[in-house]
Amino acid sequence: MLPEMSSFAGAIEINNMIETEEVQSNDMERKILEKNHRVYAYLAQGLASSMRTACIARAISASSTDNYPEETIENTLDPRDRIRHSASYWSSEGEMDPSIPESLVYKLIANLCVVTEIHVQPFQAYFQFGHPIYSAKAVRFRMGHQKYPMERGGDAANDPAAGFDSLEDQYIWTYTSPEFPMAQENRLQKFKLPEPALCIGGILQIELLGRVQKQEMDGLYYICVSHVQVVGRPLSEAFDVEIHDPSGKFTLKYLHRGYQCQSLVVAPEGLGADTASWIQSGDRSIEQMIIEGFLGAAAEDDSDDDYLPTL
């Protein structure tokens, strides 16, 4: 149910000590598998106990920006419609071809987040004749991680020259959603994913596919967005991931620090070499534990939108 989990390498790092499954002793292998299983149980519990919340930490980059900094991507994270008496929104550059896409990239608040829905509001230019709405035809969402370590000052959020191709070179996407049609309406449009998606690496991209509105003064097509929200559950600070390039595999990092789990699931006592098969093919696999823990908690607060800023 969480295919993104297949990218985890056969290693778990606990308090900076790496333990792998590639060992000779059956007894040692059993102990490592049981310990790894307990860590995954902590992971599932961490999801179940976390609150559904707004998950964007900051804007990273836009495929293009028409007028920087007035129309920067960072405006999409401000809940206000106007700032200092000016409209707050991001705008793409104009294009003659309405099929040319745009993209917005954001950093989430944790490297491990389960995302359930994304909200996007197109911008209505109240200062132009006819009050046109510069929506996209459709949206699609991708999640993943950077190919190479990047310092905060090195991203392209403040680079108006950052292009679509250069952005694509920076990331590996481990999840891609279906396309969702976008209405040409000035409202916060909520796109719920078919299933909760695990974002490994903390990077989310919004693809804006197709243009519908020309600007009267130059005859070019634009896409403009006023607000973006990402809704989901971040993992606790006890968990992190280390990305191995260029393999695309991850090490799950667990910093114990006395972290307790009240409903810990462990392998039954007395299991020997069969522990691996119990973990991998038992009634509750690792992925099932994680997603069931998440869905159980999600049912309690699915209708509660108090965690999001009011727009």
- Residue where a domain stops, chosen among 234, 267, 283: 234
Q: Are 134 and 260 contained in the same domain?
A: no
Q: For residue range 110-125, what is the model confidence (pLDDT) as tens digits?
A: 998 999 999 999 999 9
Residue 307 located in a structural domain:
no
Q: Are 95 and 225 contained in the same domain?
A: yes
Are residues 122 and 133 in contact, defined by beta-carbon separation less than 8 angstroms? Answer: yes
Is residue 3 predicted with pLDDT exceeding 80?
Answer: no
pLDDT at 194: 96
Q: For residue range 230-239, what is the model confidence (pLDDT) as tens digits?
A: 999 998 677 7
pLDDT at 29: 77
Can you give the CATH number for the domain in which 116 is found?
2.60.120.260
State the residue range of the domain holding 141: 53-234
Instruction: With cut-offs at 50, 70 and 90, classify the pLDDT of residue 149.
Output: low
Is residue 227 predicted with pLDDT exceeding 90?
Answer: yes
CB atoms within 10 A of CB 264: 12
Rounded distance between C-alpha atoms, residue 294 and residue 286, angstroms: 12
Give the total number of structural domains in the chain.
2
3-class SS at 51? coil
Kindly state the helix (H) or strand (E) to which residue 207 belongs, with its residue range.
strand 203-211
List of long-range contacts for 64-72, beta carbons under 8 Å, 24+ apart: 64/92, 64/93, 64/102, 64/160, 64/162, 64/163, 64/164, 65/90, 65/91, 65/92, 65/93, 65/160, 66/91, 66/92, 66/93, 66/94, 66/222, 67/91, 68/158, 68/160, 69/158, 71/224, 72/157, 72/158
Q: Are 65 and 23 contained in the same domain?
A: no
Instruction: With cut-offs at 50, 70 and 90, classify the pLDDT of residue 52.
Output: confident
Residue 309 located in a structural domain:
no
Q: Are 34 and 89 contained in the same domain?
A: no
According to DSSP, residue 284 is labeled S
Q: For residue range 169-214, what is the model confidence (pLDDT) as tens digits?
A: 789 999 999 999 999 999 999 999 999 998 989 999 999 999 999 9
According to DSSP, residue 236 is labeled P
Q: Are 117 and 172 contained in the same domain?
A: yes
Q: Are 169 and 133 contained in the same domain?
A: yes
Is residue 260 predicted with pLDDT exceeding 70?
Answer: no
Q: Are 71 and 38 contained in the same domain?
A: no
Q: Are 197 and 273 contained in the same domain?
A: no
